Amino acid sequence: MPDKSILIVEDEFLVGLYIQSTLKDAGFAVTAPAVSVKEALHHIAEEGFDAAVLDINLGEETSEEIAVKLSDLKIPFVFVTGYEHVNLSPQFAGSPLLEKPIEGNQLVDTIHSLCS
C-alpha cells in the first residue's frame, strides 16, 4: 500500500518545515508546503491527496477557499491556527482544528484518523 499523500498549506516556512518533517517521519508522503491559496489550488489540481493540513491565515488571505475545494473533492483536512478566535464560515465550524504550536503526535494521530 502506497504512502498516504498529504497536502500542507502553511506560509510560515519554519512551521511548514516542521509539519512536513513530522508527517514525513510518520510515514506520509509530503511535498513542500504551499504558501498561498493559488499554490495550494495548483497542487490540488496537479495531484491527488488523501488529506490536508491547512493553516487558516495566509498573510493577506485565508485558506477557506482551499477548504471549500477540498470539501468538494471529499478530501479530509485539519485546520491549524495561532489565533484563539477563529472566524470561519459556519460550514467549517465542526472541522478539526489544531492550535499552534502543534503537538507532533497529535498532528500525526489526526491525519491518521482523517485517512482511515
Choose between 74 and 85: whose C-beta lies nearer to other proteins.
Answer: 85
Please tell me the distance from the alpha carbon of residue 76 to that of residue 68, in angstroms, as a whole number.
11
The phi-psi region of residue 11 (left if phi > 0; otherwise alpha if psi is between -120 and 50; otherwise beta) is: alpha
Choose between 32 and 73: whose C-beta lies nearer to other proteins.
Answer: 32
User: What is the nearest approach in angstroms of other proteins to the Cβ of residue 2?
Assistant: 24
Q: Which residues bind other proteins (CB under 8 A)?
A: 11-18, 21-22, 32, 35, 57, 59, 82-85, 99-102, 104
Please tell me the distance from the alpha carbon of residue 109 to that of residue 42, in angstroms, as a whole number.
27
User: What is the nearest approach in angstroms of other proteins to the Cβ of residue 40?
Assistant: 13
